[in-house]
Amino acid sequence: MAESLTKVSGEEFIVKLLSGERNFSKISLEERFDLSGHSAFQELKMYLKAQNLQEEPVDISNSQLQYVKARGLYLPFTIGRNANFRGAILEYAIFENANFENANFGNANLKGTNFKSAYLVNADFWIANFRGANLDGANLQSAYLKGTYFGNANLRDVNLKGVRDLAEMSNLGKAHFLETRVTSKERL
């Protein structure tokens, strides 16, 4: 039996975040909500930057956030296991040290997004755009990368062991790979 999700409007999501709520697991956010276009977005970013998100991270595990627009969102240390960001626009967002194990970022725009030291094991990045993204030290072990675009992305010290469809990633010629980890088979 499928678990039911709590429907949350975009407005409600912002109000709850600004009031200090951190548990948004098992929610279904209003599809295509333009978070970054909301009048309170700059206030929200400033508020989140002033919080200790390492000690009190935002939890969006098992949530539906499909097609959300959140350019420049500041959510380091986020817990988002099994979250669905399919088709989301998350350009220049900060997800440093986040945990998005098994998350779906299929067809998401992640241009310039900061995933430094993020845990992205088994995540789905099918045809996602990582142009200019920072993945320094991220763990992408067993991630699905078919058609993923990595032009000018920082892949320094990234764990790519066991990634699926490594040969199907695009524009790797301009990506930065210093100390990237792959299996011996994948080096060939």
Quote the Cα angle for 96-59-82, to 5°.
Answer: 85
User: Cα–Cα distance between 176 and 48 in angstroms, integer?
Assistant: 30
Task: Give 1-188's CATH code, choosing from 2.40.30.30, 3.40.50.300, 2.160.20.80, 2.60.40.180.
Answer: 2.160.20.80
Handedness of CA 43, 67, 149, 117 (dihedral sign): positive
Quote the Cα angle for 93-99-100, to 5°.
Answer: 75
Retrieve residue 111's tokens.
Answer: 């241009």
Predicted pLDDT of residue 164: 80
Asked if 123 and 102 count as a contact pair (C-beta separation under 8 A), the reply is yes
Terminal Cα-to-Cα distance of the chain (whole angstroms): 44
User: Cα–Cα distance between 124 and 21 in angstroms, integer?
Assistant: 28
Predicted pLDDT of residue 184: 47
Q: Where are the domains of the chain?
A: 1-188
Predicted pLDDT of residue 174: 57
Predicted pLDDT of residue 47: 98
Instruction: Return the residue matching tokens 């725009």.
Output: 109
Predicted pLDDT of residue 172: 57
Predicted pLDDT of residue 168: 65
Residue pLDDT tens, the chain, 188 long: 457 999 999 999 999 999 999 999 999 999 999 999 999 999 999 999 999 999 999 999 999 999 999 999 999 999 999 999 999 999 999 999 999 999 999 999 999 999 999 999 999 999 999 999 999 999 999 999 999 998 899 999 999 888 887 666 655 555 555 555 555 454 43
